[in-house]
């Protein structure tokens, strides 16, 4: 089996509005398995098939990532990638700067 980690994670909201990081085919399959049956449809099925195919080396991991991202976008749970703030960037304090 080849590597199954996504080139970059996908961030989604779960039912509790918590933001989850989906970083691999296994993460995507786990998320999809918990998706409510009454909300599953053709795009869900495509994402599920793509993730299974990637796990079995019949599809690239990028293909599975794209299918999962499309599913997440279509059901409105895709979140923008978080912006990281470098630790050296700080807000200046008011007043004089120490020398």
Closest CA to 24 of 1, 2, 3, 5: 5
Residues 6+ apart with CB under 8 A from 39: 75
Percent of the chain residues topping a pLDDT of 70: 81
* Beta carbons of 53 and 66 less than 8 angstroms apart: no
Per-residue pLDDT at 56: 95
Q: pLDDT digit string (tens) for 37-59?
A: 999 999 999 999 999 999 999 99
**pTM for the predicted model, two decimal places:** 0.80
The Cβ of residue 64 has, within 10 Å, a number of other Cβ atoms equal to: 25
Residue 88 confidence class, pLDDT cut points 50, 70, 90: low
Phi, psi (deg, nearest 5) at residue 20: -110, 145
Which secondary-structure segment (H or E) carries 42? Answer: helix 42-55
Residue 21 confidence class, pLDDT cut points 50, 70, 90: very high
């Amino acid at each position: 089996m080849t590597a199954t980690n996504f080139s970059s994670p996908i961030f989604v909201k779960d039912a509790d509005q918590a933001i989850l990081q989906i970083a691999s085919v296994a993460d995507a399959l786990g998320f999809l398995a918990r998706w409510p049956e009454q909300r599953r449809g053709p795009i869900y099925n495509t994402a599920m098939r793509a993730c299974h195919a990637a796990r079995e080396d019949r599809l690239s991991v990028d293909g599975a990532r794209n299918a999962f991202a499309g599913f997440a976008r279509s059901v409105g749970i895709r979140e923008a990638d978080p912006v990281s703030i470098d630790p050296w960037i700080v807000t200046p304090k008011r007043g004089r700067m120490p020398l």
